[in-house]
Amino acid sequence: MTVITAFPWVPKFARGLVRDLRIRWALEEIGLPYDVHLLQRGETDSAEYRSWQPFGQVPAYDDGTVRLFESGAILLRIAEENGRLLGDGEQGKWAVITWVMAILNTLEPHIFQLASTDIFHKGEGWTAERRPQIVEMIEKRLREISDALGDKDWLAGEFSIADILFVHALDALGHSEILQGFPRLTAYRDRGHGRPAYQTALQAQLRVFEATEKEMSA
Ligand SMILES: N[C@@H](CCC(=O)N[C@@H](CS)C(=O)NCC(=O)O)C(=O)O
């Protein structure tokens, strides 16, 4: 049975944003059952976990044949192994891989910087000066991706792992005003959210946090 790791609890702002959701979503799209290993306090620092996920982060993944980490790599493994969510033919497959790299490398670092200023360093003096530059860069990238998307439903033909990454990256902008200026991308994100596999995956992640909260308050 495939196993992924996840946190038993995160603060409210992070719910739906933790990256195990990407893997849950892909597995739900394909219809593959999986187990979730919830990391207990201190476990992320254990030598055993670090030998699986060197940064002590989630998600990590084990399908019995391959054990790896990094949400992008995990999505590629799942798609490749199952011949799903990876485009059509050689060109289609490489278009998906290219978009996977583009979302992770060319877009997401800027989005992470926004989360850093708005959430992790909220209220610190330097953020007021830095934030407009970050927003400008994110908007530039979003304009470029929106142009590349054009009238298509998905980034590279059929729905693929690149769309899982892009929709989830857009979700990390949910606390900001940025997406309001991008109706095409808002519609794209909503299309992603409308997929039954996304909803199943999201509810599964949220249920864990709710169950932990119940346990803590019992
Ligand atoms: N590039 C990694 C990032 C993983 C990551 O940032 N995971 C977060 C949760 S979404 C985490 O575990 N944060 C806790 C930490 O960094 O210690 C991936 O895509 O898998």
Question: pLDDT tens, position by position, for the chain (218 residues)?
Answer: 999 999 999 999 999 999 999 999 999 999 999 999 999 999 999 999 999 999 999 999 999 999 999 999 999 999 999 999 999 999 999 999 999 999 999 999 999 999 999 999 999 999 999 999 999 999 999 999 999 999 999 999 999 999 999 999 999 999 999 999 999 999 999 999 999 999 999 999 999 999 999 998 98
The per-residue pLDDT for 218 is: 85
Which atom of ligand 1 has the smallest separation from the CA of 57?
12
Q: Is the dihedral of CA 22, 27, 31, 34 positive or negative?
A: negative
Burial letters 11-30, b for 16+ CB under 10 A, else e: eeeebbbbbbbbbbbbbbbe
Residue 167 Cβ inside 6 Å of ligand 1? The answer reads: no
Residue 56 Cα to ligand 1 midpoint, Å, equals 8
Residue 56 Cβ inside 6 Å of ligand 1? The answer reads: yes
Residue 43 Cβ inside 6 Å of ligand 1? The answer reads: no
C-alpha distance from residue 90 to each of 78, 99, 161 (Å) = 17, 14, 16
Residue 57 Cβ inside 6 Å of ligand 1? The answer reads: yes
49: tokens are 């976990």
Instruction: Look at the domain 89-195 and name its fold.
Output: Glutathione S-transferase Yfyf (Class Pi); Chain A, domain 2 (1.20.1050)
Which atom of ligand 1 has the smallest separation from the CA of 70?
20
Q: If you take atom 15 of ligand 1, which residue's CA is the nearest one?
A: 57
Residue 71 Cβ inside 6 Å of ligand 1? The answer reads: yes
Residue 5 Cβ inside 6 Å of ligand 1? The answer reads: no
Residue 30 Cα to ligand 1 midpoint, Å, equals 24
Which atom of ligand 1 has the smallest separation from the CA of 20?
10
CA atoms of 48 and 59, how far apart (whole Å): 15
50: tokens are 């670090």
Domain boundaries, the chain: 2-84+197-217, 89-195
The per-residue pLDDT for 68 is: 98
Give the contacts of 198 (CB within 8 A, at least 6 positions apart).
25, 28, 167, 192
Q: What is the CATH number of domain 2-84+197-217?
A: 3.40.30.10
The per-residue pLDDT for 37 is: 98
